[in-house]
């Protein structure tokens, strides 16, 4: 059975939804080697309280353990959001064969948006990539998550506001 990029990206989206259900930023990653999923992960920075809790990092660690090698040169990684500098560096260091991502990240994307690390000739490994696979679904998941987060923050601020004291008001008799 031949599976295409969209089908693997749907698995990454499923992982991203799991992150959202745990209150984490909904980013998911899936690593495929020889036509089989060997790792799946989602953001878990809050749960583990580590800045390294990005989906890509966790998936790469899991795939390396699975294969018994840090070289993932026959693997492809599917990520719902354009990787940041840290994750792009890890993907390059793992020698992953190809990167496929959903939506661009204009604030932190290191593949096309802010930097072009996969195409930097100064590095000893360049990485082919495909952008925009199920980008609308990936972007909608992130937009919905942050919209809900803003609503929760606003309502929390309202709950914690102290009522104005009536003692300081002048009364006119």
Active site residues: 56
Name every residue whose Cβ is closer than 8 Å to that of residue 6 and which is 6 or more positions away in sequence.
133, 134
**3 state SS for 73-105:** CCEEEEEEECCCHHHHHHHHHCCCCEEEEEECC
How many whole angstroms separate alpha carbon 11 and alpha carbon 4? 12
Sequential DSSP letters for 10-29: HHHHHHHHHHHHTTS---EE
Answer for the pair 86, 111: CB distance below 8 angstroms, yes or no. Answer: no
* 60 sits in which H/E element: helix 55-67
DSSP state, residue 38:
E
Answer for the pair 41, 1: CB distance below 8 angstroms, yes or no. Answer: no
């Amino acid at each position: 059975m031949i599976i295409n990029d969209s089908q693997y990206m749907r698995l990454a989206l499923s992982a991203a939804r799991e992150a959202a259900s745990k209150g984490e930023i909904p980013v998911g990653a899936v690593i495929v080697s020889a036509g089989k999923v060997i790792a799946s992960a989602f953001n878990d920075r809050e749960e583990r309280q580590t800045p390294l809790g990005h989906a890509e990092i966790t998936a790469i660690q899991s795939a390396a353990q699975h294969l018994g090698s840090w070289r993932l040169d026959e693997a492809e990684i599917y990520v719902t959001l354009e990787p940041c500098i840290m994750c792009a560096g890890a993907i390059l260091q793992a020698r992953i064969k190809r990167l496929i991502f959903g939506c661009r990240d204009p604030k932190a994307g290191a593949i096309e948006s802010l930097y072009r690390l996969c195409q930097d000739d100064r590095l000893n490994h360049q990485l082919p990539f495909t952008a925009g696979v199920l980008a609308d679904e990936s972007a909608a998941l992130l937009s919905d998550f942050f919209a809900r987060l803003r609503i929760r923050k606003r309502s929390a601020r309202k709950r914690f506001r102290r009522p104005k004291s009536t003692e300081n008001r002048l009364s006119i008799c």
